[in-house]
Chain A
Amino acid sequence: MRFFEFEAREVVRRAGIPVTDYGFTTDPAEAKAIAERIGGPTVIKSQVLTGGRMKAGGVKFADTPGEAEAHAAEILELEINGHMPRGVLVDPRAEVEQEYYAGVVWDGTRKQPVMIFSPVGGIDIEQVAEEQPDKVGRRHFSNILPLSDFQAKEVIASTGVTGSDLNRLVPIVLRLARLFVENDMVLAEINPLGRLADGSFVALDAHMDIENEARGRHKKLLADLGVGEEETRQAREATPFELAGEEVDAQDHRGVAGNVTEFDGDLGLVIGAGGGSLTLFDAVRAHGGRPANYCEIGGNPSVAKACGLAKLVLSKPGVDKIAVMMSIVSNTRVDIVARGVIKACLELGLDPAEKIAIFRIPGAWEEEGFKILERYGVDYADRSVSLNEAARRAVEKIQGAPAR
């Protein structure tokens, strides 16, 4: 769940990292008052959860409070990439001698946070890494063991920063790393981190993203920031198809049959179990398939929920067939899911043998499940067929090629 810049700045400030004397508002008159309090040139920044603010006119410079008010009024009405701003941030125009980058990102492959530092800030760190790789320092660290000064110092020093700058940057990077771990974040980035004329450092912009599943652990922080429980903060609003998926999953407490994401392909997916969804989705694409959706099913949902999910996917315009596939071997009962997806076909007046491209869920109660599938002529595979092979067969079927 992403934070707006004004929220991320507050998180940074609470962690003891210096920030500018900024203010957030939804009212142009208040923007003027904030600019008066700042008492100098200001920057008015749209608070939207999308990139390209500057290019879209969502960041404007003001020399007077009156100008700040006028810019705020314009920006508050400005839609950027389909997003209306939550408000504006009124920020002093700091006299910066140099811009740095400090960030911590969750490395899903290593299952560890990685600290990233660069003395080249103010632009995308990916660009710096490509153009000046020696100016980017990285280090993984434990999210369980305490972080040491030495670790932060090593990362910063590896980019050529020395002396007083190094000493002043170490606590900032350390605090950033700690706030990342303490708040279950997947991204905590200060860019730019500005060095002022007196040698001090100040966070000029911040981006943060908290692990969605950890929201429950940070209710106080979210309440303090005014983040409503209903706010998903996803990259785009949920589609009616996705909302319908949520309703299916909410039918009862048993298992999971939802977390649907809409795509525009022709192969509907009923996939899941132990990370199987992502693997299977990727496998379908790797074989040239065009998924109509992503979803998650597992943990022994009721027949009604499996049926509801399959009906939803089958009813999606453009979906020709569905592939029902789960992880290597699943604890979710095969017979229950088989009943659900077959029932979905029957209730929609469709032939399960025609509409289910492949059913590959080996595991609990598979013998019973296979009896059901055979009864309705559904093509199924047992555990001797890999996820990859099952995905290939599903794609071949929908593309009209003979399945091997």
Chain B
Amino acid sequence: MRADGTFIAVEVEDAAAGDTELARRLAEACPVDIFLASDSGVALVDGNLDECVLCRLCLDAAGARGAGSPVKIIKLYDDGALLD
């Protein structure tokens, strides 16, 4: 799943999106409420995408950074560079 804001896009690998435990960790870690935990896994809050403060807490919660992470923070203003 992927959601795009004006400046930030967030991508969660489909295989990980249904992981309720990952969803809980992401929702707990994100200081600007981009992630929601639901019974079906991860949900993204479109209205908060551009509030991303690039803190990397979601990447840490997902257990990996960069291309290997199930969660990707994409800087749309920087030619799609990944936060790692």
Beta-carbon contact of A371 and B51 below 8 Å: no
Q: Does A390 contact B (CB under 8 A)?
A: no
Verify B50–A339 contact, CB threshold 8 A: yes
Which residues does chain A contribute within 8 Å of B32, judged by CB atoms?
302
Q: What are the residues of chain B within 8 A of A339 when measuring CB–CB?
A: 6-7, 50
B45 at the interface (CB under 8 A from A): no
A336 with B53, Cβ < 8 A, contacts A343-B6, A372-B7 known: yes
Q: Are A302 and B51 closer than 8 Å at their CB atoms?
A: yes
Which of B10-62 touch A at CB < 8 Å?
32, 50-51, 53-54
Contacting pair B77 A371 (CB below 8 A): yes
A338-394 contacts to B, CB under 8 A, are 339, 342-343, 346, 365, 368, 371-372, 375-376
Q: What CA separation (Å) do A339 and B76 show in the bound complex? A: 12
The total number of A-B Cβ pairs within 8 Å is 26
- Bitwise, A26-51 to B at CB < 8 A (1) or not (0) is 00000000000000000000000000
Complex contacts, A346 vs chain B, CB 8 Å: 6
In chain B, what residue has the closest Cβ to A305? B51
Separation of A365 and B54 alpha carbons in the complex (Å): 10
Which B residues are in CB contact (< 8 Å) with A371? Answer: 75, 77-78
A372 touches which one: B51, B53, B77 (CB < 8 A)? B77
Q: How large is the interface on B (under 10, 10 to 19, 20 to 34, 35 or more residues)?
A: 10 to 19
Residue of B nearest to A335 (CB): B54
Determine the distance from Cα of A226 to Cα of B51 in the docked complex, in whole angstroms: 42
The A contact surface, by secondary structure, is helix
Residues of A with C-beta under 8 A to B53 = 333, 336
Cβ of B51 and Cβ of A303 under 8 Å apart? yes
Bound CA span A343–B7, Å: 9
Interface 0/1 of A315-346, CB less than 8 Å to B: 00000000000000000010110010011001
A192 smallest CB distance to B (angstroms): 57
Is A304's CB under 8 angstroms from B6's CB?
A: no
Interface residue total, chain A, C-beta cutoff 8 A:
16
Distance of B44 from chain A, by nearest CB (Å): 16
- Roughly how many angstroms separate A168 CA and B7 CA in the complex, as a whole number? 70
Contacts of A336 in B (CB 8 A): 53
Partner of B50, one of A303, A333, A375, A376: A303
In Å, the complex CA distance between A371 and B75 comes to 10
Given contacts A371-B78, A372-B7, contact A343 B50 (CB under 8 A): yes
A304 to B33, CA, bound (A): 13
The CA of A372 and the CA of B75, in the complex, are separated in Å by 10
**B67-84 contact mask (Cβ, 8 Å, vs A): 1 or 0:** 000000001011000000
B77 to chain A: which residues have CB within 8 Å? 371-372, 375-376
Most buried by B among A339, A346, A365, A368: A339
Enumerate chain B residues within 8 angstroms of A342, measured Cβ to Cβ. Answer: 6
Cα(A294)–Cα(B50), bound, Å: 26
Taken together as a complex, chains A and B put the C-alpha atoms of A302 and B53 apart, in Å, by 9
A365 CB, min distance to chain B CBs, angstroms: 8
A-B contact sample (20 more), CB < 8 A, given A304-B51, A333-B53, A372-B7: A302-B32, A302-B51, A303-B50, A303-B51, A335-B54, A339-B6, A339-B7, A339-B50, A343-B6, A343-B7, A343-B50, A346-B6, A365-B54, A368-B54, A371-B75, A371-B77, A371-B78, A372-B77, A375-B77, A375-B78
Q: What would 17 A/B residue contacts be, using CB atoms closer than 8 Å?
A: A302-B32, A303-B50, A303-B51, A304-B51, A335-B54, A336-B53, A339-B6, A343-B6, A343-B50, A346-B6, A368-B54, A371-B77, A371-B78, A372-B7, A372-B77, A375-B78, A376-B77
User: Closest 3 interchain pairs by CB?
Assistant: A375-B77, A372-B77, A303-B50
- Using a CB–CB cutoff of 8 Å, the interface residues on chain A facing chain B are 302-304, 333, 335-336, 339, 342-343, 346, 365, 368, 371-372, 375-376
